[in-house]
A and B are shown apart, each in its own frame.
Chain A
Amino acid sequence: MASIEPPIMRSTSPAGTGTATAAGTVELSVVRKCYGDFVAVDDLSISIQPGRIYGLLGPNGAGKTSTLRMIIGIIVPDSGQVSVFGEPLRRAHMDQFGYLPEERGLYKKMKVLEHLVLLAQLKGLSGAEAHKRAQSWCERFELTAWTGKKVEELSKGMQQKVQFIGAILHDPKLIIMDEPFSGLDPASAVSLKDVLLELAKSGKTILLSTHRMDQAEKLCHSICLVNHGRAVLEGDLNQIKARYGMCNVQIKYDGDARFLQETRLVQSFNDYGNHVEVRLAPGADTQELLKLASAGARLSKFEVMEPSLEEIFIDAVSKPAVSKPAAGKPNA
């Protein structure tokens, strides 16, 4: 893909190189955004395929929100190219976006239904249509009793649901959500997740940012791990796992523990009392470890584990020098 190229085109390259081959719903190529001396987004390139749920992950201050804002067009990148639906970002695209900002914002004095209608009208819906859809979404999120109330009378969680409805009311092709689950109770989080999955099934592209890896792991097809404005890892979640994966083994044993000292196979291990977790040395074969362990000890469990996204993330972030080569694109 074009985005591996060094950032030569950063300066003034017009539409062209970056977008010509772009097939994704959203393509960022070497996008950069600075606030003063602080580099919030550092030559980031990502590609989001249609109909997928894409997770932008990273710790606080990693540049997630800035990235989302650039995709929506609220802020303009200092350099690089943002294109959506195969063309450079234009104002006209905005009506196709549904955006849920991290800092929720609603007019506190407005009534819920009126507010939803206003948001949908701003996206080009007619008043009547907006009204109808708002009603039905409020039913779905059990807000019907509150539609005539002022926003400020609602609990925070309910306000969040209102905001979520506001983001999808106009049936956007691209749904962008900044930390959609923060502040929701578990039940609401589940119904939100269900709606997102449903929308993705119906062909919408969903881009969400979160710092909660477990949620991303359950929901996303593809992810981009961001740290200090740089992509640490990007691509299909399963492929990333596969690439990183199968290097941890959980062993329950009784007897000789000398196999743990075999540095040819074991890079490090963690003793949890009733089991140990072994991290295999690069290139080591699990079968060899199994043989070695069973030779001296009685095994009650030997499980090769998929690493959690959290582990991958911590691993990728803790040794930036090592993971840097992988940063551009997973070459899978």
Chain B
Amino acid sequence: MRNMWLIIRREYLERVRTRSFLILTLLLPGIMTVVMLLPGKLINMGGKVQHLVVVTSTPQFGETVRQRLLSPVGDTGDDDEANEDTSAAKPNPEPEYIIDLDANPTEVERAVLRDKVTSQAIDGYLWLSDDAIASGKVTWTSRNMISFGERSRLSASLNRIIQYERLAKNGVTAAQADGLLKPVKIEAVRMERGREAKGSGGGKFLEVAVMVMLLYMAVLLYGISVMRSVLEEKNSRIMEVLLSSASSTELMTGKLLGVGAVGLTQILVWAVMGIVFALPAMAMQPSFSDLQIPPGVLVAFAVFFLLGYLLYSTMYAAIGAITTTEQEGQQLQFFIIIPLVLSVFMLAPVVRNPDAPAMVWVSMVPFFAPVVMYARIVVQTPPVWQIVLCLLLLIGTIAGIMVLCARIYRIGVLIYGKRPNLPEILKWLKYAKA
């Protein structure tokens, strides 16, 4: 016990004291922020004022179109839930238009407009002649590819205009048309712990995604560093000295917990930084404000994150023990990443149908449990026996792998040279009883 504590302390202090730890801890949140915000900024930068020409058969219709295009987006009506709360004073990132009207839909005029587009006098033109509308196919001509969002917005606006126009032609007034065309919205209500819970499940998915991301990051960053530290000991041959003082299990657990604690420290620092800096900003974003995480889920998060982290780190240590170089280790790393990636693939079906028997059993498999069982708990609390069984299996597996690893470790570190094959490893396991 004392030896294990000494090893943990060494592993922890040695790592936390390094400059690279400090730099990574402080810098990564900054880099992440930039990476996350930059694409948004870049898109907004494209949103300069567009100068376009609307070509219609009559000036009145052109005016209607202009009004519609310049009015706020939400009014288009049949846009879906993305615009649920446009009424809130939301900064409007939509591109704005300067719209000129043109009531001369002739081929000559079209040629002139084309030239204007080419010479950059205007950004584009919309061909809305009566003929075009009758044929149900209007054209938007511009120099740039139209973005997907812009296209659907345009199309929604135009459809609305044209529907009203057609109805008007058939003697339906605008007020009647409003009533006829009023869209129906679907509100998602889930039954959660006997209560109705609003929200489309997007928040739930986020909770799970955060877990997956953190677990993935922690496993990749620190699992590899466990592997590396085992390899380092092998290559520096210090194992022999250590093994003459402590048991391989003490060394192994000490190393895992020490390196593990470094990862947790880093994540904790990031979490604190995130809460301090990001919370005010997040509170402003309406999509985050309905994200209320019940304490039970937080506990589940902590438990499954720690266990998952431990499980995968142990597997990394084993790889470190049976290989001699980092390259070799990285090839085998594949076997660790696969279950992790598989459990990510299983997220969608699990969130959709957390109680399906297949999902229940998948969530029991220790290699998937940290992600899948956690996802089930987030979406809909499974029966207690399932959680308990899952935890027992997970802990048992970790302990089992740890014991096996300690044995492989013990012999693997003393044998230099070629990588052992499976029969050899099995033989080691049998021999290394002490």
Contacts and interface: CB of A to CB of B under 8 A. Distances in A.
Contact of B245 (A104, A108, A109, A122): A122
B433 A76 contact: yes
A9 to B, nearest CB: 20
Interface string A58-88: 0000000000010011111000000000000
A91 B431 CA distance: 16
Contacts of A108: 236
Number of chain B interface residues as a range: 20 to 34
A105 B244 contact: no
Interface of B is mostly: helix
B238 A74 contact: no
B10 interface: yes
Contacts of A109: 14, 18
Interface in A219-245: none
Nearest to B239: A105
B243 interface: yes
Interface in A78-122: 91, 94-95, 97, 99, 101, 103-110, 118-119, 121-122
Given A109-B14, A118-B10, A121-B6, A74 B244 contact: yes
A95 B433 CA distance: 20
Interface string B106-141: 000000000000000000000000000000000000
Interface in B207-242: 233, 236-242
Interface string A122-162: 11100000000000000000000000000000000000000
B237 A122 contact: no
A107 B6 contact: no
A122 B236 contact: no
Query: Closest 8 CB pairs between A and B?
Result: A105-B237, A105-B238, A103-B237, A122-B245, A101-B240, A99-B244, A105-B236, A74-B243
Contacts of A101: 237, 240-241, 244
B244 A97 contact: yes
A328 interface: no
B246 interface: yes
A75 B6 CA distance: 23
A99 B240 contact: yes
A166 interface: yes
Contacts of A122: 3, 6, 242, 245-246
Interface residues of A, number: 29
Nearest to B238: A105
B244 A118 contact: no
8 contacts: A76-B431, A94-B245, A101-B237, A101-B241, A109-B14, A109-B18, A110-B14, A163-B241
A75 B238 contact: no
Contacts of A94: 244-245
A282 B303 CA distance: 80
Nearest to A76: B434
A101 to B, nearest CB: 4
A35 B128 CA distance: 86
A105 B240 contact: yes
Interface in B399-432: 411, 414, 431-432
B380 interface: no
Interface string B322-353: 00000000000000000000000000000000
A163 B238 CA distance: 10
Given A74-B244, A91-B247, A95-B245, A107 B238 contact: yes
Contacts of B246: 122
Interface string B2-37: 110010001000100010000000000000000000
Contact of A73 (B3, B241, B414, B434): B434
A163 B236 CA distance: 13
Task: Give the most central of B10, B245, B246: most A CB within 10 Å.
Answer: B245
A99 B434 contact: no
A108 B229 CA distance: 12
B414 A74 contact: yes
B245 A107 contact: no
B240 A103 contact: yes
B240 A75 contact: no
B425 to A, nearest CB: 13
Given A101-B241, A118-B10, 20 more contacts: A72-B244, A73-B434, A74-B240, A74-B414, A91-B247, A94-B244, A97-B244, A101-B240, A101-B244, A103-B240, A104-B237, A105-B233, A105-B237, A106-B241, A107-B10, A107-B236, A107-B238, A118-B6, A119-B245, A122-B3
Interface string A165-194: 011000000000000000000000000000
Nearest to B233: A105
Given A91-B247, A109-B14, A166 B241 contact: yes
Contacts of B18: 109
B255 to A, nearest CB: 12
A105 B245 contact: no
